[in-house]
Structure 1
Amino acid sequence: MKGTKLFKDFFESEKTGGLTLISCTILSLVFANSTFGADYHNFFLTQFAGHSLEHWINDGLMTVFFLLIGLELEREIYQGELSNIKDALLPIFGALGGMLLPAGVFLIFNFGTTTQSGAGIPMATDIAFALGILSLLGNRVPTSLKIFLTALAVIDDLGAILIIAIFYTKSLLWTNLFIALGIFALLLAFNRLKIRNLIPYLIGGIAMWYFMLHSGVHATITGVLLAFAIPFGNGDEKSTSYILQHFLHKPVAFIIIPIFTLANTAIVFSGNMGETLTKNYSLGIALGLLVGKPLGIFLFSFLAVKFGVCKLPNDLNWKSVFGVGLLGGIGFTMSIFITLLAFEEEITINNSKLVILLSSFIAGLLGFFALKMVLKKEEVNEN
């Protein structure tokens, strides 16, 4: 696996964004538990055009986040680390294990209960946070390890998108859905006709978002569909896809995701913490992220290499793969997002967010120190 300028730019953007999220999370928790915590919470419930600010953030702004994910996924498929199937198979299998085992762990505690719908929560990896932690290790991290984690998280995001579309659609209004898909088909036709101007795609994307919002399918899926309708061309700096992706990186990393974080991590610490952490859904989330994720990523990657499906890059070993698996347990943004779709009771949502934050923090620490030890030993051995 060879690093490219685009990948390095992406890595730099994501790692800085991850450090920004840490600051926003701390700020949100401080505000929520201060004397003006109620005002802070009520601010995001302010109504605007028939919906709360929180709703506009989660269903509107996050669509732009999903648009960027779609553009990055498209580039990975056409030109990046997923374009060569042999290189892509290792992170594909790792991501598959990193989704199936955490969901299985969650269902062990919650199957047949009212909270079983939360099985998708521990399946997600927050790419910004994970790369942010990895970046703290500096130059000792081999490029192929950065690429493995990045590809793993991108595939993980795709899995989360499919899960949201399939399992968190509660009721369908077929007319609106068909109109949204009809607009998508029209945008694909624009692509085939080699229309490169962004304006028709953005106007069509807004219209598609409106009908998708009122179809029952979560509106953020529109972002991914729009990404694959926008012309990729040869992927150079003049292509429509590249221009939009380059433009969106900083606004998403430093405006949209921080706003989402401020709106959705305002957790008030109250009640019996021990009781909260021992609820079935809490155990499912925590063990799914801290145990299911690293075991799933490691086990599926190991079996794929063992059976000759793919190869482990020369500068990687299984200890570093397991360390990356620990970082995969940082759920955060996507886990919180799925929580909002999976549960309806406010106390369950609040408790789940708390468990996600604690588990992600622990996963980050474990991953950081595990990789620090492994990579340090590798440096000593090389010397």
Structure 2
Amino acid sequence: MNDQQPNRIHSAVQLLTERALATLQHFLHVEAISGIVLLVAAAAALLWVNSPFAHSYHDLWNLPITLRLGEFVFVRSVHFWINDALMTVFFLVVGMEMRREIHEGALSRLDQAILPVLAACGGVIVPALIYLGFNSVAGRSHGWAIPTATDIAFAVGVLALLGRSIPSNVRVFLLALAIIDDIIAVLIIALFFSGGLEPSGFVVAASGVLLALALQRLGFGSALAYVVPAFIVWAGFLIAGVHPTLAGVVLGLITPVRSTGPETVPPVVRVEAALHPWVAYAIMPLFALANAGVDLRGIEFGGGAQFVALGIGLALCVGKPIGVIGATWLAVRFGGCRLAADVSWAGVCLIGLLAGIGFTMSVFIATLAFTDDKLLDAAKFGVLVGSLISVTFGLGWGAEYAQRQRNAQS
């Protein structure tokens, strides 16, 4: 009997490890392919808006969609429903990623989390300072947060193009860094890009959260049961003046991480796995198609718009690598941190370069930061150029790094 107990424990640990690795591999596979889909959607938007059919691009996203509930009528454009409603599902998956990583992943232990956390902080602070160095004046300074985020799908997609010679721990470091970047971006949106707050909205949102927790307590396992409380939380945030997409983060963070009843897979894993392909292959590309359309013929770089584009571009392709690599070096040199096995400084440099790819979240923050179309177009242009340069540098350095890895293994 005593001999069987350790065997059972070993088998359980092995099963959990294999399940975690399978989840990570599936996540990386989806992200890698979706990065290509995102690129195609962004390219399509650019071609469309710079073609003779540009008017149809703008007309499509400005079409009104009406929601009727009895006498209640809510009319918003297609653009609103994509950016403020569908992107809530994107943030729901982000929230679930955070919840899972805090429970059993890269953020579950302080000694594991501290290095990517510090690296991510460096990758937020330095780009923000570079941007403000060009845009400290009122009106343009609101864009300081645009170059602080990393696009997980694009970054992991570029890393996948480099092949299997890249050590797995480098991929994990990049993934942890990008997730922490998302957490910081969510906090920035909540703190700096919300309007005048209406207390009654928070009461509505809290009632939705309590309803979701009550359904969990009662054992409701169907995702459909949580549509109503999710809508209540979303509507509450909208009423409160907080960006409604943050409802997704809140709901993701309260998703159970332990299996209940006959289910062997925890709800946070099951729901995330179900939603992730929809987010990666439909919602994010649709967001890119609706937001990446920058009329390059009509960009006006007067009135400070040129400094917005320049500040964002340099912050992404220069500030991000300096911040990530510099913070990592300081943490290892003076903070008592250690690089994981198989993560060399060449690998850290690759991570820093890829961290400069800031498409989805950067464009999203730009839509919140600027209401002036001229500044918004300049910001999007800066994001596109900075991200493209980061992709180029990342692929160039990564190809050299991958070749070194193959030579070392042969």
Give the TM bin, normalised by the shorter chain: over 0.9
Structure-2 change in CA distance of 1:372 and 1:45 (3 Å)? same
State the alpha-carbon separation in 1 of the partners of residues 24 and 383 from structure 2.
28
Query: Is 1:321 aligned with 2:322?
Result: no
Query: Is 1:29 aligned with 2:54?
Result: no
| Cα drift, residue 355 of structure 1 | 1.4
- Contact 1:276-1:282 within 8 A present in 2 as well: no
Residue 25 of structure 2 aligns with which residue?
A: 8
| 2:353 partner letter | L
Residue 356 of structure 1 aligns with which residue?
A: 383
Structure-2 change in CA distance of 1:277 and 1:142 (3 Å)? farther
Match of 2:97 among 59, 68, 72: 72
Residue 310 of structure 2 aligns with which residue?
A: 283
- Contact 2:305-2:375 within 8 A present in 1 as well: no
Task: Give unpaired runs (5+ residues) of structure 1.
Answer: none
State the alpha-carbon separation in 2 of the partners of residues 18 and 336 from structure 1.
15
| 2:47 partner letter | V
Q: Percent identity?
A: 37
State the alpha-carbon separation in 2 of the partners of residues 276 and 38 from structure 1.
25
Higher deviation after alignment, 351-360 or 231-240: 231-240
| Cα drift, residue 199 of structure 1 | 3.5
Residue 109 of structure 2 aligns with which residue?
A: 84
| Cα drift, residue 367 of structure 1 | 0.9
State the alpha-carbon separation in 1 of the partners of residues 213 and 328 from structure 2.
35
Higher deviation after alignment, 189-198 or 293-302: 189-198
Please tell me whether Structure 1 or Structure 2 has the larger radius of gyration of its CA atoms: 2
Structure-2 change in CA distance of 1:369 and 1:278 (3 Å)? farther
Residue 201 of structure 1 aligns with which residue?
A: 226
| Cα drift, residue 200 of structure 1 | 3.5
RMSD after superposition: 2.1
Matched residue SS, 1:358? helix
Higher deviation after alignment, 322-331 or 175-184: 175-184
Matches within 5 A, 1:175-186: 175-186=200-211
Match of 1:346 among 348, 355, 373: 373
Residue 325 of structure 2 aligns with which residue?
A: 298
Give TM-score scaled by structure 2 length.
Answer: 0.89
Residue 260 of structure 1 aligns with which residue?
A: 287
| Cα drift, residue 125 of structure 1 | 0.4
Matches within 5 A, 1:1-383: 4-49=21-66, 50-191=75-216, 195-234=220-259, 238-271=265-298, 279-383=306-410
- Contact 1:276-1:351 within 8 A present in 2 as well: no
Higher deviation after alignment, 194-203 or 116-125: 194-203
| Cα drift, residue 119 of structure 1 | 0.7
State the alpha-carbon separation in 2 of the partners of residues 333 and 310 from structure 1.
31
State the alpha-carbon separation in 1 of the partners of residues 198 and 114 from structure 2.
37
| Cα drift, residue 113 of structure 1 | 2.4
State the alpha-carbon separation in 1 of the partners of residues 313 and 328 from structure 2.
22
| Cα drift, residue 241 of structure 1 | 1.8
Matched residue SS, 1:279? helix
| 2:178 partner letter | A
State the alpha-carbon separation in 1 of the partners of residues 395 and 119 from structure 2.
19
State the alpha-carbon separation in 1 of the partners of residues 285 and 233 from structure 2.
25
- Contact 2:300-2:374 within 8 A present in 1 as well: no
- Contact 1:87-1:310 within 8 A present in 2 as well: no
- Contact 2:50-2:297 within 8 A present in 1 as well: no
State the alpha-carbon separation in 1 of the partners of residues 236 and 348 from structure 2.
42
Higher deviation after alignment, 175-184 or 334-343: 175-184
| Cα drift, residue 278 of structure 1 | 7.3
Give TM-score scaled by structure 1 length.
Answer: 0.95
| 1:282 partner letter | A
| Cα drift, residue 202 of structure 1 | 2.4
Count of residues paired in the alignment = 383
Higher deviation after alignment, 255-264 or 25-34: 25-34
State the alpha-carbon separation in 2 of the partners of residues 125 and 66 from structure 1.
14
| 1:373 partner letter | E
Q: Deviations over 1:244-272 (max 9, x none)?
A: 11110111111111110110111111147
- Contact 1:277-1:283 within 8 A present in 2 as well: no
